[in-house]
Structure 1
């Protein structure tokens, strides 16, 4: 049995980014033996790009913020000319009191916004300046002094900002419940700013001063501006497919990991179910990029403490519903990123991305594609509906917000029900991560790299993959040095 340097379980964007970084850093004099094992018949994980009848749509993530790591990765795998970006000036909307209200993105826009009342704006201003009551109370003590997202933003910026801006944002990113999500975990940068400056505005200024100087920009990487969202001409799947193409036969599809054992020489034996029967692989290091509930089962025999912490992560059900309408059925021309809907507005859908307005060539001429998300932590019942029922719910909501009266049924492009969609960074998140870190000390060479740690966005996944690659590389170098010194 050939001994691998690194076995990566999962060919989502985290695992592929990690494999790319390891492969790139290896030298011809010291190549690394890497294997990426994926249980599905394709790479990309939750990235699900589909094309049919002149339409192109996403059923998982829809776009990415162009972080430096992600942009560098795209260029490295030959996708520079395939990058596309939405106009950052396109407005975002919140549906409030039966109207689409643009989200204020600048101080002048905040002043003029009709989304917040005058008292609500004053409350937010005073809170941002630091006139904030301390976090206290019996409820907080029971939470071990950890604030929920709802508690944190109500305390700092007031109820209106919480309900009309933060809550719909939480629905859009996490499909989460702001009364359960940890502010420090889900909004780490904002929470740190508040701690640093006493108020969000002072904290932002101090954070900017303390921010380390950025390295000179790579001239080969396209420059982007804040607020832009990116994709590729052929959709997001272009990135994982390009990485996998470079890795070649190091990527194995339809390989399902059934057992992981540790050997006496501190390596690991992985047993896979494959199309060619059972396969065993031995590796010096193993990186599990699988969801928390899958990883929990794999590590239960090796490290029950880690498994227990992983089992505590919750993943609510979310349905992605992609519907197409003739442009004549839509109220006017949709110009913008899309709309989010706070709870309590009589609308069940969490939000809708105006897909064919965001990127060109995503729909045939005369058609509008709308990608809606429904369910999440505050609507667990969505998992009990069938596809037709879910389409009816979304079509009814769209009819109230974006469509003309009495439009016929839409062209249904997709109803993808993600039974376990997005990991929730709920209260106790950091305690769970500490428990995981403690337990992993007894499993040297085993690493976890998934979106239940350090952010759920695509850019977070790429950055995390690069970070883990450095840790794995250092571990392998140290082990090699220890072997030579013996």
Structure 2
């Protein structure tokens, strides 16, 4: 019997396996696809290097340490943190203010909107909207509207949420999606006071000299793309990683679990003392149904809207403006269907041939699920039409490098998400050795995936 079985070789599952390998544990990690890495997909062709999933990461110490441990310390590349972000508003790309002085001068907010945001940030905040009881849950829209006003909510926060979660600010829980910001009100009464109180209470961590040194606000990738990280972890796992293994059934044993797989060579059965399910909620739900209907019900309630990633290149002469910046986000109701665009070849130079610029656009999400029913050509045409209003001259046709449709992309932390997860966790306590480890729990960033995977390995250790 194995000590541990990890199902799913995305970044969370790979991080779990990496830590167990460091501890010299007996484990197996399986993946239903023919490659590890999950949504981390990097492609190259004709001098172009692009991503079809995550485009960058925040280089926090947990992620950097993992990269160094698997030999990627010298492959880290960092984007210029001074690159501006833009929001498309009333027919113009306007820079997002990144400092108090820039906020005062910004045309993105009216004078009244700026004053409302300032007063709210300082703690002049009305009670919860609509007579909500103290302690009741707010959507992101309700929280931001109450603290900073409608203009900030519509023009800054809503497009940001579309970029992070592909989500709807009117449906996502503020406490679940942005807990650290949500808790600032409790700590200080207002966002600024809460931030000051948090800073005073926190103990600064000295930088680790063994890790690459980064600056606040920088974003990272790797020399040959994001997929270098899962590939490097997988290379060290050897035959402990089995691809094209699809988990079809689970059975509880007196001292562990029995898992049935479909594999390229026929059915396989694995018995294990501990089981880590590092796969999306909609895949976990039917597997747990024979063990617990409660878990299935909770997991099936987590929505995953479709998102398409469209990577295009245009020649230098096609652009309406110099392409100097991180990218742009597009609030709803501005006549633009695309959620946002990353200016990829500016963010990480050297990823396209001379004379070209490359961008990655995202379309769909919770506010536009119909994108999931469109064919790839129609999606590319829609994105090009949107870009022609903002960035490129319409007479230039794009070189379409990729249209990757993710039918179930990012889990949505809707109202009640925290309570449902607490109920699920409490219920699963009666299944010792069974652990859930995926981004539907507590964070969708890559750093969250690694943190969660390492923590899962520690939990496995407690039952061995």
Q: 1:319 aligns with which of 267, 285, 308?
A: 308
Shift of 1:209: 1.1
Is 1:410 aligned to residue 398 of structure 2? yes
Please, which runs of 5 or more residues in structure 2 have no aligned partner? none
Q: Counterpart of 2:16? A: 18
> The residue matched to 1:204 in structure 2 has which SS?
helix
Q: Which residue of 1 aligns with 2:250?
A: 260
How many Å separate the matches in 2 of 1:391 and 1:45? 23
Map 1:158-173 to 2 at 5 A. Answer: 158-173=149-164
Instruction: Using the TM superposition, give the Cα deviation of residue 332 of structure 1 relative to its aligned residue in structure 2, in angstroms.
Output: 3.1
Q: Following the alignment from structure 1 to structure 2, what is the Cα–Cα distance between the partners of residues 299 and 275?
A: 24
CA contact (8 A) 1:91 1:102 kept: yes
Query: 181, 184, 187: which one pairs with 1:190?
Result: 181
Higher mean C-alpha deviation, range 305-314 or range 382-391: 382-391
Determine helix, strand or coil for the equivalent of 2:405: strand
Does 2:222 correspond to 1:224? no
Instruction: Write the distance in 2 (CA, Å) between the matches of 1:457 and 1:232.
Output: 16
Alpha-carbon distance between aligned partners in 2 of 1:35 and 1:69, rounded to the nearest angstrom? 23
TM-score in terms of structure 2 length: 0.98
The Cα shift of 1:267 comes to: 0.9
Alpha carbons 2:42, 2:227 under 8 Å: kept: yes
Q: Is it true that 1:332 corresponds to 2:321 in the alignment? A: yes
Asked if the contact 2:248/2:262 (under 8 Å) is kept, the reply is yes
Question: In the alignment, what sits opposite 2:273?
Answer: 284
Query: Where does 1:64-463 land on structure 2 (aligned, <5 Å)?
Result: 64-138=57-131, 140=132, 145-214=136-205, 216-264=206-254, 266-404=255-393, 406-463=394-451
**RMSD between superposed Cα atoms in Å:** 1.2
C-alpha separation between the residues in 2 aligned to 1:243 and 1:109? 42
- The answer to whether the 8 A contact 2:129-2:146 is kept is no
What secondary structure is seen at the aligned counterpart in 1 of 2:339?
A: strand
Supply the distance in 2 between the matched residues of 1:246 and 1:300 (Cα, whole angstroms). 34
Of 434-443 and 115-124, more deviation after overlay is shown by 434-443
How far the C-alpha of 1:362 sits from its partner, in A, is: 1.1
> 4+ residue stretches of structure 1 with deviation over 4 A?
none
Deviation of 1:327 after TM superposition, in Å, equals 1.1
Shift of residue 108, structure 1, vs aligned partner:
1.1
Distance in 1, matches of 2:291 and 2:183, equals 35
TM-score (structure 1 length as normaliser) = 0.94
CA contact (8 A) 1:84 1:230 kept: yes
Deviates more, 1:34-43 or 1:144-153: 144-153
Cα shift readout 1:258-294 (whole Å, capped 9, x = no counterpart) = 1111112x21111111011111111110000110000
CA distance in structure 2 between the aligned counterparts of 1:472 and 1:164, rounded to whole angstroms: 44
Cα distance in 2 for partners of 1:366, 1:409 equals 15
Q: Counterpart of 1:258 in 2: which secondary structure? A: strand
* Secondary structure of the structure 2 residue equivalent to 1:373: strand
- Tell me, yes or no, if the aligned pair for 1:175 and 1:422 is still in contact at 8 Å: yes
What displacement does 1:144 show? 8.0
Equivalent residue pairs, number: 464
**Aligned equivalents of 2:320, 2:222: Cα separation in 1:** 28
Deviates more, 1:202-211 or 1:466-475: 466-475
Give the Cα–Cα distance (whole angstroms) in 1 for the partners of residues 102 and 64 of structure 2.
30
Structure 1: any 5+ residue segments left out of the alignment?
Answer: 477-486
Q: Deviations over 1:108-160 (max 9, x none)?
A: 1111111111111100000000000111535x46x982100000000000001
- How far off its partner does 1:212 sit? 3.2
- Paired residue for 1:49, among 42, 49, 54? 42
Distance 1:342 1:222 in 2: 36
Instruction: Verify the 8 A CA contact 2:338 2:363 in the aligned structure 1.
Output: yes
Kindly indicate whether the alpha-carbon contact (under 8 Å) linking 1:305 and 1:435 is maintained by their aligned counterparts in 2: no
